Amino acid sequence: MDGILVINKPAGMTSHDVINKLRRKYNQKKFGHTGTLDPDATGVLVVLCGKACKALQFLNDTDKKYVSSIQLGYFTTTDDIHGEITQQKDINLDFNFDEVLRSFLGKQSQQVPMTSAKKIKGKKLMDYQRENIDIEPVYQDIEIYSIHSINKDDLSFEVHCSSGTYVRSICRDLALKTNNGGCMKSLQRTAVGRFTIDMAQKIEDEPVLYPVSMVLDHLPFVEYESILEVYQGKQIHLNQDEPLVCITENNEPVAIYENIGNGIYKSKRGLW
């Protein structure tokens, strides 16, 4: 089975659990997701199947959309309601929810939660936390494209953001901005790039496969006549100046080729 599955991940499963279930269901080893979703979160998990796994490094359309809600009153070790409470505070509701959300718009440096799998000096942040090792806060550059409230009563909101954004950090930081304790109460991923929750299916459903070309269309598609040279991994000459191109046969992606100068391209990754 080759192509792209859009899975609606249920709560209580890790992203790797989903991959393992798909491997057993289809008796196939080659499955890989394009971005981890927290075990307690639900929503869109994009899964590459079979030959499509070879395209993973070339994915470009990786922005995310989420719907989340905030729990006020306390901070936790994981910045969500499932962690241990580290500090309790009286709840302050004297703030404009939409106005505070808008303050998160744009490019910024976001503090990565300690529960993250992000590695520092070869070790995951969550492992430092598990071993009670104190390290300096870690930040990474992100961008919030849009953010707005859905329901002010339960402090729920929708956010469209760059890959690498932690919604639990938004919830924690909003609490800090409003003189509250707070953490993430719920999380649903509603889109990864062009793949939306409306396209997502249960693991048990009959598979709806999307073509790998959907995640490669940011590259120029080049139909190359001497396609055997491509299958043999030979260098080819193209009337192109793009750094990367997708070589196709009958409009199907066959290989990614890299510009090495003077119209000469070398094979970077076969997709067959």
State the catalytic residues.
38
Which residue in this structure is represented by tokens 């991994």?
Answer: 233
Contact yes or no for 272/231 (Cβ under 8 A): yes
Contact yes or no for 135/128 (Cβ under 8 A): yes
Q: Quick one: which of 172, 149, 169 has its CA closest to 159?
A: 149
Q: How far is CA 58 from CA 14, 129, 216, 231, in A?
A: 24, 33, 7, 19
Residue 106, class by beta-carbon neighbours within 10 Å (0-12 exposed, 13-18 middle, 19+ buried)? exposed
Beta strands at 139-151 and 3-9: parallel, antiparallel or unpaired: unpaired
What residue type is 158 in one-letter code?
Answer: E
Q: Quick one: which of 21, 49, 66, 27 has its CA closest to 215?
A: 49
Q: Would you give the distance in Å from CA 263 to the centre of its chain?
A: 34
Rounded distance, CA 129 to CA 79, Å?
13
Q: Which residues contact 5 (CB under 8 A, 6 or more apart)?
A: 22, 46, 47, 49, 201, 207, 208, 209, 210
